[in-house]
A and B are shown apart, each in its own frame.
Chain A
Amino acid sequence: MAEILGNITISLVHVAIPLTIILLFALVAIWGERKIAGFIQDRLGPYRVGGWHGWAQSIADLLKLLQKEDIIPKDANRFLFKFAPFMMFTASFAAFAVIPFSSAYIGSMINIGVFYLLAVTSILTLSVIMAGWASNNKWSLLGGMRGAAQLISYEVPTIASVLMVIVVSGSLNLMTVTEMQSGNDVLGFLPNWFIFQNPFLIIGFVIFFISILAESHRVPFDLPESESELVAGYQTEYSGMRWAMFMLAEYADMLLLSLLGATLFFGGWNSPFGDFMAGPVWGFFWFMLKGLLLVFVMMWIRWTLPRYRVDHLMHICWNVLIPLAFVNLVLVALWEVIF
């Protein structure tokens, strides 16, 4: 019995560490997103709550959302309506188990790492359909269908671009993938990150980044919730904390995919200066910095580019990204064989 309790305690710690990171990230990122939006649009953004640059705005918003009434439409499917936001968050949260946050910490050392991550996040699609259908609202349903079509389509270039890195690394475990990128040997000074090791992986990263923008349905690919056409897509009928769960899931997904990108292409927790500023704590710092930089680029793009039309979105995926990804996969493999 004591052994079971011990196992459960260890598991709970492994659950708590990524959860804390996600919650802190969501608080900072929502504030950051509004500040970045403000600066890009030549205004100030939140400025009052908390004093310095309105840093407490997200906390105030959270407290407001907590007090809001939980409205469920009369004809909605109650169980699925209540369940969908939690399933969405669980799907992206569960994937954090295989992310190596630093050289000293990874949730699970399972051998199939990144494959597990891709498999678990495929549940996201279902929760989008579930929310869209259960709301009993035409906007929700249209948003849900669009979301599902988009997520399914963009899963193909995402997996293909992840596969390019797997071809180079030869391991699915993200910890091993990161360890292979230690050192500064490329051209004598550049770090051994995969993006510098193989020129075709730069194209791979571009494909990966476009695909994760679509996977986490951010502008310019936010068709599932495009507010000018569909009110708020599959989130239309949600209010209060359930809506907040959707937001949390969206930010968790953003962070997850950015951290995955940082691990696969930018050396994960490896310091850019070789042994200088290296070690488990610095590793965590570098890893989060790389991830947050990618998140920043995603926000930057969101407030710069207009939204794509739904058929253009599908065209980009099936006619441009997927053929390019497969050709590039072969080129990456050829480069590995030759050099």
Chain B
Amino acid sequence: MELTTILFYLFALVTVGAAAVMVFSKNIVHSAFALMFSLIGVAALYVLLYADFLAAAQLLVYVGGILILILFGVMLTSQGLTVDYKSTTVNLLPAALLSITAAALLIFAFTTTKWIVSTPVDRDETVYDLGMLLMGDYILAFIVVGVLLLITIIGAILMSTRLITQTGKTD
């Protein structure tokens, strides 16, 4: 057994275990912090696939950005902290049916697909290759995503300034 294999199973366990805690936890802040472990586990799995740039981006965007936004959302929601947030189970039967169907489909797809196993190549110049691809073959997608993000930012600024003028605050 190689070290990478051991590490793979370790991080896979962390990812899946934390995801389970996230889903089954009754406390919403616990779920958010469990999500952090899950995301870090996924980043470690990317490293094992020689996708180092992707792993760092995963950490920076999801752990350092989106997860903190989630926590802020939870904490800034009125009484999100003082009131004990108890999650309850609703729609038990439809949800169970849906999950069983999804699980069956996934297992079916997993067992019937012919998986091509190949050893990942150790790449040195991941950033260079990514940059060349983004500026070459995928330039259109890259620009479209950039414009989309710009529209989102302008929209967010517009919404927040409108809120301030409505409430009459000047700052």
Mark A residues whose CB is within 8 Å of B. Answer: 3-4, 7-8, 77, 80, 110-112, 115-116, 118-120, 122-123, 125-126, 129-130, 133, 141, 145, 148, 152, 155, 172, 311
Contact = CB atoms under 8 A, between A and B. Distances in A.
Which DSSP category, helix, strand, loop or mixed, fits chain B's interface? helix
A8 B7 CA distance: 12
B63 A126 contact: yes
Contacts of A120: 56, 59
Interface stretch (B91-99, B108-116, B123-131): B123-131
A126 B68 contact: yes
Contacts of B52: 110-112, 116
Interface residues of B, number: 29
Contact of A4 (B2, B72, B124): B2
A102 B57 CA distance: 27
Given A112-B56, A155-B64, 16 more contacts: A4-B3, A112-B52, A112-B127, A118-B60, A119-B57, A120-B56, A120-B59, A122-B65, A123-B59, A123-B64, A125-B64, A125-B68, A126-B68, A129-B68, A145-B75, A148-B68
Interface of B: 1-3, 6, 29-30, 33, 36, 40, 52-53, 56-57, 59-60, 63-65, 67-68, 71-72, 75, 81, 124-127, 171
Contacts of B63: 122-123, 126
5 contacts: A80-B33, A123-B63, A126-B33, A145-B75, A172-B127
B3 A112 contact: no
Nearest to A132: B75
B1 to A, nearest CB: 8
B126 A112 contact: yes
Contacts of A126: 33, 36, 63-64, 67-68, 71
Contact of A115 (B2, B56, B65, B71): B56
A7 B75 contact: no
